[in-house]
A and B are shown apart, each in its own frame.
Chain A
Amino acid sequence: DAKTTQPPSMDCAEGRAANLPCNHSTISGNEYVYWYRQIHSQGPQYIIHGLKNNETNEMASLIITEDRKSSTLILPHATLRDTAVYYCIVRVGPGGYNKLIFGAGTRLAVHP
């Protein structure tokens, strides 16, 4: 599975968009980009995933560059409850056993 690089920490004002970057320059053609988050002391929570097209769901949007070497998770209107560690994970997608390799992630702090 490809490695990912994320900034260790970011800040965002409440109500503003939070844009969390992720570099995955060694991603393979069959590898997906997944995002999970972990709110303090809780188990990780799935947010979104994508292969090459941009994706949006009720929680966030995922923008993947055309060369697929980087991506950005967007929380359109951050709230205090979005304060968490965000993990960008790259792995082979559907079917079979899928191992999640968690790096250190980005610690997002949303402030009033």
Chain B
Amino acid sequence: NAGVTQTPKFRVLKTGQSMTLLCAQDMNHEYMYWYRQDPGMGLRLIHYSVGEGTTAKGEVPDGYNVSRLKKQNFLLGLESAAPSQTSVYFCASSYEERSYNEQFFGPGTRLTVL
């Protein structure tokens, strides 16, 4: 099992450019999440999904959109990148039924917006 994978690992964008981050999991998890982590801070939830075809807003959703067309994939889009979106982005997934709903995290995508 690969677990949770993220593509790309690194990206540099110019202000106003758009991009999509891909998260994939092979554990048949229902729930998937996108977080961002700024230097010296904990993770903050951007968007999440409780199943295929569903998405919901987290703590800091502005400037991002997401889609969950397939159960194993969760896409995070930036339509018009801003320097404030420079961050490390982590995807996570979890079971719905398990007793403690442990979240499994991907290795992260380091994004710089110039």
Contact = CB atoms under 8 A, between A and B. Distances in A.
A67 B96 CA distance: 29
Interface of B: 4, 31, 35, 40-45, 48, 50, 56, 58, 88, 90, 92, 94, 96-108
Which of A97, A102, A103 has the most chain B CB atoms inside 10 A of its CB? A97
Contacts, number: 60
B31 A45 contact: no
B8 to A, nearest CB: 15
A101 B45 CA distance: 8
Contact of A100 (B96, B98, B103): B103
Give the interface SS of chain A, mostly helix, strand, loop or mixed. loop
Contacts of A32: 100
- Chain A: number of interface residues, binned into ranges: 20 to 34
Contacts of B106: 43
